[in-house]
Amino acid sequence: MKDKVSVAACSGMSNFGLICRAVASDLSENEEDIASICITSTAANDKAPDLINKYPIIALNGCSNACVDKILEKKDIDVNDSINVMDFANEHDLKAGEVARLGEEGEKTVQELKKYVFKKIKE
């Protein structure tokens, strides 16, 4: 991937959506070469801002509905990599926590997913 990337996170009302948002927030706050995309704003606007197309995008989908991918596709925005966070958690035997509070298990999943996304960015 390029030197800078964007992460677009699920904003769904599930525990995996919360994990996606926590990962995107943490990565963009702690890494200057990672920007986050507000998928809700992207969906609500008639035209996607030019900034969205500036960097490669990693989509963090909370589940198999892949809403992030679908929203970006409808806006003619390419996704460079897509991660189904529910599948990621299941494959790594991680738990999701509650819908509105991550708790210990949810935070553990956030930490492991951040490592995974960061590794993908550096490939």
Q: Domain locations in the chain?
A: 5-122
pTM for the whole structure: 0.85
Per-residue pLDDT of the chain (123 residues; tens, 9 = 90+): 558 999 999 999 889 999 999 999 999 999 999 999 999 999 998 877 777 888 999 999 999 999 999 999 999 999 999 999 999 999 999 988 877 788 898 999 999 999 999 899 887
**DSSP β-bridge partners for residue 84:** 61
Torsion of CA 12, 16, 22, 24, to 10 degrees: -80
